[in-house]
A and B are shown apart, each in its own frame.
Chain A
Amino acid sequence: DTEVTQTPKHLVMGMTNKKSLKCEQHMGHRAMYWYKQKAKKPPELMFVYSYEKLSINESVPSRFSPECPNSSLLNLHLHALQPEDSALYLCASSQEGNRGAGNTIYFGEGSWLTVV
């Protein structure tokens, strides 16, 4: 069973809505990630937080806004999205994010987002 918990599991939102995806882990991991996965494609990295600081932003549009309130929580705030942003959004965590030591990245079940 995954120890990375994501809510909601499904979200439908209009292009003018503001919504948030939430992620929580209690494994003591200090790195947390957001990935986006389109159908039949591999996950694509969006953001990495290391020790609660944003360390990687893969040129993601500003309509996606990450937030890391503490070491266990990660949010993704959504505003003015487009239909092409519909995808599975995966949260993940790993033990230490800033040493590049090949630590295992653990994924949540994902949030299925549909933009109408």
Chain B
Amino acid sequence: GNSVTQMEGPVTLSEEAFLTINCTYTATGYPSLFWYVQYPGEGLQLLLKATKADDKGSNKGFEATYRKETTSFHLEKGSVQVSDSAVYFCALSAASYNTDKLIFGTGTRLQVFP
């Protein structure tokens, strides 16, 4: 079946450090891949997406590349800020579904300290 695996958190970093949050997936067909961010007390916001192999999604300094050969979609940012503290969810939407059904990873909490 389809699934998403994320690294366990929390990830604790100092401001301006480099961030990587690992995400790998298992899917039939050719899924679209997403990163969503959830700030404390809020709903989910789309951070970035990629719909085919080798696509790079980017937004607000975050990047992730769709790697079909390693079935990965790791999230990176070169210099994190305190305001990036949130929970990050990797998700896929598999083309085999009849509707846009998201499969989420467990989420990774990021804590950035000044």
Q: Taking beta carbons and an 8 Å cutoff, which residues of A are in contact with B?
A: 2, 4, 6, 31, 40-43, 45, 48, 50, 55-56, 88, 90, 92, 94, 96-110
Contact = CB atoms under 8 A, between A and B. Distances in A.
Contacts of A88: 43
A43 B44 contact: yes
Contacts of B45: 2, 107
14 contacts: A43-B44, A43-B102, A43-B104, A48-B99, A55-B98, A88-B43, A90-B43, A96-B100, A97-B99, A99-B99, A100-B100, A100-B101, A102-B32, A107-B36
Given A100-B96, A101-B100, A107-B45, A42 B32 contact: no
Main DSSP-derived SS at the A contact region = loop
Contact of B107 (A31, A42, A56): A42
Contacts of A94: 100
Contacts of A45: 101-102
A114 B89 CA distance: 24
B58 interface: no
Interface residues of B, number: 26
Contacts of B96: 100
A42 B99 contact: no
Interface string B36-48: 1000001111100
A54 B77 CA distance: 39
Contacts of A107: 36, 43-45
Contacts of B94: 100
Contacts of A90: 43-44
A10 to B, nearest CB: 11
A96 to B, nearest CB: 8
Of B42, B44, B49, most A-chain CB atoms within 10 Å: B44
